[in-house]
Amino acid sequence: MREAVRVARRSAVERTVDPEDFVGLPGLVGDGEPSAQVRDVLARVPVHHRAVLVLRELEELDERSAAEILGTAPGTVKSRLHRARSAFRKAWQQ
């Protein structure tokens, strides 16, 4: 039952990624757009992980700024970033 609740919560906050969300961000390939592979992998990462990855890795914000935008504590950003990087690596290998 707990697993069903966990899956329901996760799927309730998931949304698809619009490639336009990434246009013009620093640190991207070529003309300011991430490669198709990176977009595909980001689309498979949970929303809360995707948000922290984009803010820290693509936008190059510090933990405090990312925390303010996300409305969380800087420590939460650190832990989410760790999990997000792991999720990204796992999705990249699939």
Architecture of domain 2-93: Orthogonal Bundle (1.10)
How is residue 6 written in tokens?
């966990």
Domain edges within the chain? 2-93
Tell me, what DSSP letter sits at residue 18?
A: P
Residue labelled with tokens 């997000």: 84
Residue labelled with tokens 């309730």: 12
Name the amino acid, one letter, at 85: R
pLDDT at 75: 94
pLDDT at 44: 86
pLDDT tens, the chain, 94 aa long: 566 556 555 554 444 445 455 444 444 445 555 677 888 888 888 888 988 988 888 888 899 998 988 888 999 999 999 999 998 888 888 7
